[in-house]
Amino acid sequence: MKGRIPLNTVVLRLSECSLFAGIAREEMAAMLDCLGARTKTYERGEYLVRPGDTVHELGVVLTGEVQVVRDDCWGHHSIIARVVAGGLFAEAFACTAQHNVPIGVVAATRTEVLLIDCRKITVTCSQACAFHARLIQNLLRILALKNGSLMDKMGHLTQRSTREKVLSYLSRQSFDAKSEQFEVPFNRQDLADYLSVDRSALSSELGKLRDEGIIEFHKSTFILHAPRV
């Protein structure tokens, strides 16, 4: 396999990745070879995918974190999603071999990724490797789940005011954490970019919500007292 990351390290990471669920570690080396997978490392701030690229490979985040972003013609920067270790990026575009993708993928930290040509997954190979069917089913499930999370995010974006957006987001985080107290994985600017609101407006709205006793927060730790939406 191409890339500088040791094979057993890669296999270890992949064993916890939902794309490879149900595939034995012993099979993985052969599988990676058949898929023509390669590893690559990016520094914080580097682009893995640029708007306008043609994408054939999907990416698996082995370590670190990437953000799927979009900059529009009015100069706004927005964060569509974050992908942490075990997650996939660009898989929807790779599956349809999309030209001129509208999004970018940028490393939020130093990041190691595995890149796999999607055609190698969806087109069953001549050796009729046993894992193909499983990979396709896993990919199907991942795409379905991602559809769900895109809809969740839309639930925040469709809110009219900054207050509603941030409450919608915090409620969701609280729900996912199964706790009134939780960490948000963004700094203020990134949270604003994620919710498509102004940073200073976000800050002041958070201040108001605190004054009203609805939330408490310190840095990225939040406590939501309000009934969860």
Residues making contact with DNA (CB under 7 A): 160-163, 187-189, 196-198, 200-201, 203-207, 217, 219-220
CA separation for the pair 173, 128 (Å, rounded)? 43
Per CB under 8 A, which of residues 130..189 are in contact with its own copies?
Answer: 133, 136-137, 139-141, 143-148, 150-155, 157-160, 164, 168
141 binds, among its own copies, DNA, none (CB under 5 to 8 A by kind): its own copies
* Residue closer to DNA (CB basis): 16 or 198: 198
207 binds, among its own copies, DNA, none (CB under 5 to 8 A by kind): DNA
Torsion angle, alpha carbons of 11, 12, 13, 14, to 10: 40
Task: Compute how many other C-beta atoms are within 10 angstroms of the C-beta atom of residue 39.
Answer: 21
Q: How far is the CB of 119 from DNA (least distance, A)?
A: 38
- Supply the Cα-derived Rg of the chain in whole angstroms: 20
Residue 18 DSSP code: G
* Residue closer to its own copies (CB basis): 64 or 104: 104
* Residue closer to DNA (CB basis): 134 or 188: 188
Q: Are 199 and 189 in contact (CB under 8 A)?
A: yes
| Count of residues of this chain found to bind its own copies when the rule CB under 8 A is applied | 44
Q: How far is the CB of 151 from its own copies (least distance, A)?
A: 6
Q: How far is the CB of 156 from DNA (least distance, A)?
A: 13
Strand partners, 106: 47, 67
Residue 52: name the closest of 114, 120, 103, 124 by CA. Answer: 103
CA separation for the pair 107, 70 (Å, rounded)? 14
Q: How far is the CB of 210 from DNA (least distance, A)?
A: 8
Q: How far is the CB of 43 from its own copies (least distance, A)?
A: 26
Please, is 8 exposed, middle or buried when counting C-beta atoms within 10 Å of its C-beta (0-12, 13-18, 19+)? exposed
CA separation for the pair 182, 204 (Å, rounded)? 20
* Residue closer to its own copies (CB basis): 80 or 84: 80
Residues that bind its own copies in the complex, under the rule CB under 8 A: 70, 72-74, 76, 78, 80, 91-93, 95-96, 98, 102-103, 122, 124, 133, 136-137, 139-141, 143-148, 150-155, 157-160, 164, 168, 196, 198, 229
